[in-house]
Structure 1
Amino acid sequence: MTKLEAIKGKVNDAEEFARKIWLAGLGAYGKSIDEVQGRYEKLNAEANKVFDDLVSKGEQLEGEAKGKIKEKTNIEARVAEVRSKLGLDKQSNDEKIAELSAKIDALTAAVAKLAADK
């Protein structure tokens, strides 16, 4: 083997080693891409699960709220019915005062008439 062949061999070895370094870097890049892709898919699946859980909880709370609103509406309807039966929903305070004043005036006039008749 001549000196030139020895140099060519070392250059070929160096090129092969440089190629292996390049391939190792490329492999590391590919592996990191695969790992990131796997983590992304796992994170995405977990995010979807969390979202679905939140939707489920929201549906549950919505149902409970609708039930409470319906219950409150029923209670308000019952209160309105009782107020109606007692005559409390027909007049405003001013109308009630005017009505009571008229009754007092009528009673005062009746008492005065009775007193005058004696």
Structure 2
Amino acid sequence: MSANNVKETAKRVMENGEQLARNIWLAGLGVYSKSLEEAQGLNGKTTELFEELVTRGQEVEYATRQKLEDKKEKASDKLETRVNDLFLKLSGIDRKQLEDMNEKLDKLADAVESLSKK
């Protein structure tokens, strides 16, 4: 997959998430408007109903933000993986070689750390 395709995919994921959030916001406004209309007949319970709706709205907003953040993070991780894979392909480095080098560097770092503690 080309870098442009990856960018377009990431852009679509973000746009879909933003549209979902906007639709939820608009639905909330619709509920608020409808509730106010119905609450006019409740005489005095309008404030209580409004506060309940605000609380529910806050809960939905929090859950939605969490879901969007999770999707954003997953998309970012996928994009990073693809960019790394592309870099490895273009540089001619084998993933196994890179993993072996990382393992050797970790061992070397551990050895240096243990020597510095003595």
TM-score of the aligned structures, taking structure 2 as reference length: 0.41
Whichever of the two has the greater Rg, that structure is 1
TM-score of the aligned structures, taking structure 1 as reference length: 0.41
